[in-house]
Amino acid sequence: MPSGALAVNFKLDADLERLQIPSRRPRRFRDGLWRHTCFEVFVATRARAYQEYNLSPSSEWASYAFSSYRKRAAATPLPPRIRVRRNGLDATIAAKGRLKIGLCAVIEEKNGSLSYWALRHPRGKPDFHHRRAFALELG
């Protein structure tokens, strides 16, 4: 792992036959991955600013920068490196310093229903952008 990088590993421990897993595609940026099975990493290095990474089992990805809660910034984070496995994926993301991290997943079943998973959810409906969801601290 290169210096200034965060390595994450997601594993689906589920009956994969019941899930809608996106088919493999070329690695590229694609918006809207969160509408289907996808893993998400939120990384904060400053008080209000943070980055979001969507990582699909298709090997497509998206990365976004935010200056504050759900307020998109002009900058775009570096793309993640992804290695897809049958039941999950590994990713390397550029990050350094003291980090607050949210690890999340959107899981789609074959019937179209979605479930939302996170290390921690805020009260009420799931909101991965909420600072309470950034449950892991590193550095």
Question: What is the pTM (predicted TM-score) of this model?
Answer: 0.93
Nearest to 131 by CA among 100, 94, 96, 93: 100
Instruction: Specify the number of domains making up the chain.
Output: 1
CA distance 62 to 89: 15
Contact (Cβ atoms closer than 8 angstroms) between residue 12 and residue 88: yes
Contact (Cβ atoms closer than 8 angstroms) between residue 37 and residue 108: yes
Q: For residue 84, give its domain range.
A: 5-138
> Would you say residue 135 has pLDDT above 70?
yes
- Residue 46: CA atoms inside 13 Å, Cβ hemisphere, count? 9
Note the pLDDT tens digit of each residue in 68-108: 999 999 888 889 999 998 889 999 999 988 999 999 999 99
Place of tokens 């008080």: 47
> Would you say residue 64 has pLDDT above 70?
yes
